[in-house]
Amino acid sequence: MQGKPVAEQEIGKQLLLETVTYAESSVCRRKQLLHYFGEEYPTDNCESCDNCLNPKEKFEGKDNVYLVLETVQAVREKYKADHIADIIVGNTTSAVRVYKHDDLELFGEGDEHDKKFWNAVIRQALIAKFLNKDIENYGLLKITEKGHDFLKNPYSFMLTKDHDYEEEDDDMLLRQQVGANTVDPALFSLLKDLRKKISKRLNLPPFVIFQDPSLEDMAIQYPVTIDEMKNIAGVGTGKATKYGQELVDLIVKYVEENEIERPQDIVVKSVVNKSGIKVDIIRNIDRQLPLEDIADSKGITMTELLAEIEAIINSGTKLNLNYYINEILDNEQQNRIYDYFREAETESIGTALNELGEDEYTEEQIRLMRIKFISEIGH
């Protein structure tokens, strides 16, 4: 979309996001399509589309819909779905900070669910005509007369859980890779001990060397060469080359001594090569684009973007996020989090929040600093 007017780009982005949400939605396809073109389908089950033939679980959504409408009303119907979801979840994005929406009483009211959940609620509220979306004005959400009536007198409203294709694909990939294999507990324990020795020798936290999921995958796949080690989840070329040889030597010895029959093929799981989205993320970070813009362009939430970045970092690719981190944290705040991870025994964000203070930092800020720490210290 290079060279197009900003307004045209924004509308194009909205249309792409509509396509993504249509694919992920578990609502009747016919109902969604007719709604998109301004028509109504009177029943909830067309008995012919994939969602109606294989219905997803429903749950009481009265409070969820009410919170969405209340939030749209609180920001005077001037923002689009992604921003509303950020407010509800409590994401302190740059837009939320600029418009001081983190000062709203509703900020973080729905943090028991992720942003993807709230976008699904918004989508179903649109189909139910509690909300309208103005595509020509960047997808701003407006409360309908029906929505205002709901706010005055809330009533039971059933929501449908959306598909999580990423999770389903990961589960399928895991089944394809591992089959009936499970983690070898004896090898896993030996790998953890060796990681601890390496971390002490290099004066680095253990999680910087290899994370537990990587060790678990080693205890399933038994990589006996550096090339095989590169294909382990969360490893990649950088970490395999830098830290992998001692672990490979241990696994070779373990396999020989215990006459282990290894899986014949290790499926390549190098994170950067798994999907083109990761390559685009790396390029956009190199161009120093705001992370919110990168997430929007990929049709994913900020939380999902950070997970992608963490996967890239953990596979051994170094990224420089200083341009973004410097905008949200001053030097003193950065140094405090950085020093914490230097001494930490665990990579847990929850533990870091408890230690550093939830009133002082957000989960997003700590995740970003953990990414910076691992990228600078671990690579």
Q: Is 60 helix (H, G, I), strand (E, B) or coil?
A: strand
Number of H helices and number of E strands within the chain? 22, 4
Q: What is the pLDDT of residue 34?
A: 77
Highest mean pLDDT among 31-35, 52-56, 261-265: 31-35
Rounded to the nearest 10 degrees, the angle between the axes of helix 363-378 and helix 349-356 is 110
The residue range of the domain holding 43 is 6-163
Q: Using pLDDT thresholds of 50, 70 and 90, give the confidence band for residue 307.
A: confident
Which of 250, 209, 217 minimizes the C-alpha distance to 233?
217
Which residue, 200, 235, 258, sits at the end of a domain? 258
Which residue, 228, 258, 288, sits at the end of a domain? 258
Highest mean pLDDT among 84-88, 93-97, 324-328, 352-356: 84-88
% of the chain surpassing 70 pLDDT: 80
The answer to whether residue 324 is domain-embedded is: yes
Mean pLDDT, rounded, for 78-84: 91
Q: What is the pLDDT of residue 378?
A: 63
H-helix or E-strand spanning residue 101: none
Higher-confidence position of 341 and 176: 341
Q: Is 373 helix (H, G, I), strand (E, B) or coil?
A: helix
Mean pLDDT, rounded, for 292-309: 86
Instruction: Map tokens 């290790």 to a residue.
Output: 266
The answer to whether residue 317 is domain-embedded is: yes
The answer to whether residue 200 is domain-embedded is: yes
Q: Are residues 159 and 10 in the same domain?
A: yes
The answer to whether residue 321 is domain-embedded is: yes
Q: Are residues 24 and 142 in the same domain?
A: yes
Using CA of residue 46, residue 51, residue 52, residue 53, what is the dihedral sign? positive
Instruction: Identify whether the C-beta of residue 222 lies closer than 8 Å to the C-beta of residue 251.
Output: yes
Mean pLDDT over each residue of the chain, to the nearest integer: 80
Q: Are residues 321 and 339 in the same domain?
A: yes
The answer to whether residue 22 is domain-embedded is: yes
Locate 375 and state its tokens.
Answer: 């990228």
Locate 164 and state its tokens.
Answer: 């999580």
Sequence-distant (6+) residues with CB within 8 A of 238 are: 315, 316, 317, 318, 379
Q: Which of 52-56, 249-253, 280-284 has the lowest mean pLDDT?
A: 52-56
Q: Which of 64-78, 84-98, 254-268, 303-317 has the lowest mean pLDDT?
A: 254-268
Q: Which of 9-13, 247-251, 305-309 has the lowest mean pLDDT?
A: 9-13
The separation between the first and the last C-alpha atoms of the chain, rounded to the nearest angstrom, is 35
Residue 111 CA, chain-centre distance (Å), reads: 15
Q: Are residues 79 and 101 in the same domain?
A: yes
The answer to whether residue 264 is domain-embedded is: no
| Cα 1 to Cα 18: distance, rounded to the nearest angstrom | 17
* Count: domains in the chain: 3
pLDDT digits (tens, 9 = 90+) for 173-219: 443 444 445 788 889 999 999 999 998 898 888 888 888 888 988 98
Q: Are residues 151 and 176 in the same domain?
A: no
What is the DSSP track for 232-292?
STTTHHHHHHHHHHHHHHHHHHHHHHHT----S-PPP--HHHH-HHHHHHHHHHHTT--HH
CATH of the domain at 347: 1.10.10.1390
Higher-confidence position of 332 and 278: 332
Q: Are residues 178 and 158 in the same domain?
A: no
Instruction: Identify whether the C-beta of residue 306 lies closer than 8 Å to the C-beta of residue 371.
Output: yes
Q: Is 222 helix (H, G, I), strand (E, B) or coil?
A: coil
Whole-prediction pTM value?
0.43
Q: Are residues 36 and 156 in the same domain?
A: yes
pLDDT digits (tens, 9 = 90+) for 62-78: 999 999 999 999 999 99
Instruction: Identify whether the C-beta of residue 339 lies closer than 8 Å to the C-beta of residue 356.
Output: no
Which residue, 224, 258, 292, sits at the end of a domain? 258
Q: Are residues 80 and 143 in the same domain?
A: yes
Using CA of residue 289, residue 309, residue 263, residue 199, what is the dihedral sign? positive
Sequence-distant (6+) residues with CB within 8 A of 326 are: none
The answer to whether residue 354 is domain-embedded is: yes
Q: Are residues 18 and 102 in the same domain?
A: yes
Q: Are residues 275 and 249 in the same domain?
A: no
CATH of the domain at 244: 1.10.150.80
Locate 314 and state its tokens.
Answer: 């953990």
Residue 358 has pLDDT above 50, yes or no: yes
The answer to whether residue 266 is domain-embedded is: no
What is the DSSP track for 325-373?
HHHHS-HHHHHHHHHHHHH-S---HHHHHHHH-TTT--HHHHHHHHHHH
Locate 48 and state its tokens.
Answer: 């012919």
Q: What is the pLDDT of residue 10?
A: 52
Q: Are residues 22 and 142 in the same domain?
A: yes
Locate 156 and state its tokens.
Answer: 């039971």
CATH of the domain at 81: 1.10.10.10
Q: Are residues 16 and 147 in the same domain?
A: yes
